[in-house]
Amino acid sequence: MNHAIRVHEYGGPEAMVWEEVPLPAPRPGEALVRHAAIGLNYIDVYFRTGLYKAPALPATIGMEAAGVVEAVGEGVTHVVPGDRVAYATAPIGAYAEARAIKADRLVKLPDAIPFDQAAAMMLQGMTACFLLTRTYKVQAGQTILVHAAAGGVGLIMVQWAKHLGCTVIGCVSSDAKAELVRAHGADHVVVGTESLPARVKEITGGAMLPVVFDSVGRDTFMTSLDCLAPFGMMVSYGNASGPVSIADIGILAAKGSLYLTRPTLATYTAKREDLDACATALFDVVAKGAVKINVNQRFALKDAAEAHRALEGRRTTGSTILLP
């Protein structure tokens, strides 16, 4: 018996239906993983609404989970039945009690990391890792800006950037979120984006920033450009408020010969060695206590619609997991 949350037609949270689905047999190169916990990520919203298209409908959404390998297909040597594993990867299909997935995308979990923590941190934590160490390799002493700083990726970014020696400015939408972000080490927190460039100017003594990490997208894109120093790097890595489109790249010239990138975890972990390096770096900062994973919301998997409402309603902080 296997149950999953499936989307038959793109739409609101109500488009997600809890139903019985066949238990897949792992094909060559695949492992069958029984999920203990599933990670909730903003990308799940994009796949539910149709902003990102599923390969086919009905579709089981979700890109992250942790659990135990139950069976493996032909040719799989990397994992064996009984292994504790986690993953954060395409294709979608994580909102299920069990699923078959390419075994070479699975990461073995250190004993010290429980399933709920793993499901809460693989996607968001590896994202923080590649953004801060590869997309823009932050240096100790640099001042950086993190949008949605109280969110899943945001709260990890704040702590990791502090660990790397940065001065961190977090941007959030409420005083309560500001308090949380300060408690996780942010040096400055700005509530709302209206006065953000002016606050950044004040904080940096007019120098502005070498890099901005913007996951909000449409609502903050232009404001973020205004926070950058000449030659600064705009890292636009998400669309929580809607996708960004720019009609004229001349805006990058006008605002100081800026760089713009739209990175994804998929590209940065496509090679197995990059996936391993990223996961190992994440396990390391968590083991050291430099990054704490906040599992601040838990929902039953069958109540995924409630979880999506909370995420889209900006009522979550830190990470959220779904329990099968």
Looking only at the bridges linking them, the beta strands covering 64-72 and 84-88 are antiparallel
Query: Angle 175-183/152-163 helices, nearest 10 degrees?
Result: 40
Which CB atom, from 288 or from 315, has the smaller least distance to ligand NDP? 315
**What sign results for the dihedral spanned by CA atoms 261, 262, 264, 270?**
negative
Which CB atom, from 26 or from 125, has the smaller least distance to ligand NDP? 125
**DSSP secondary structure letter of residue 313:** T
296 interacts with ligand NDP by CB under 6 A: no
Structure tokens at 264: 């994804």
Which CB atom, from 243 or from 256, has the smaller least distance to ligand NDP? 243
133 interacts with ligand NDP by CB under 6 A: no
Which CB atom, from 8 or from 134, has the smaller least distance to ligand NDP? 134
Restricting to residues 227-266, name those near ligand NDP by CB under 6 A.
Answer: 237-241, 263-265
Binding piece for ligand NDP, criterion CB under 6 A, among 14-22, 35-43, 249-257, 292-300: 35-43
Distance CA 86, CA 226 (A): 39
DSSP labels for 11-40?
A: -SGGGEEEEEE--PPP-TTEEEEEEEEEEE
Distance CA 209, CA 224 (A): 10
Among 6, 35, 84, 177, binds ligand NDP (CB under 6 A): 177
Binding piece for ligand NDP, criterion CB under 6 A, among 4-12, 54-62, 68-76, 122-130: 122-130
148 interacts with ligand NDP by CB under 6 A: yes
219 interacts with ligand NDP by CB under 6 A: yes
216 interacts with ligand NDP by CB under 6 A: yes
Residue 54 C-beta: closest distance to ligand NDP, Å: 16
Binding piece for ligand NDP, criterion CB under 6 A, among 24-32, 76-84, 172-180, 245-253: 172-180
Among 153, 157, 166, 279, binds ligand NDP (CB under 6 A): 153
42 interacts with ligand NDP by CB under 6 A: yes
Residue 273 C-beta: closest distance to ligand NDP, Å: 18
Residue 39 C-beta: closest distance to ligand NDP, Å: 8
Q: Are 289 and 112 contacting, i.e. CB atoms less than 8 angstroms apart?
A: no
Nearest to 294 by CA among 174, 132, 159: 159
Distance CA 134, CA 190 (A): 26
Binding piece for ligand NDP, criterion CB under 6 A, among 4-12, 64-72, 109-117, 143-151: 143-151
List C-alpha distances in Å: 27 to 6, 60, 89, 213. Answer: 22, 18, 18, 39
Q: What angle do CA 36, 37, 40 make, to 5 degrees?
A: 160
- Residue showing tokens 């900062």: 285
**DSSP secondary structure letter of residue 109:** P
**DSSP secondary structure letter of residue 158:** H
Among 26, 62, 67, 154, binds ligand NDP (CB under 6 A): 154
303 interacts with ligand NDP by CB under 6 A: no
**DSSP secondary structure letter of residue 135:** I
Residue 217 C-beta: closest distance to ligand NDP, Å: 6
Q: Are 27 and 294 contacting, i.e. CB atoms less than 8 angstroms apart?
A: no
Which CB atom, from 113 or from 172, has the smaller least distance to ligand NDP? 172
Binding residues for ligand NDP, per CB under 6 A?
41-43, 123-124, 127, 148, 150-154, 172-173, 177, 215-216, 219, 237-241, 263-265, 311-312, 314, 316
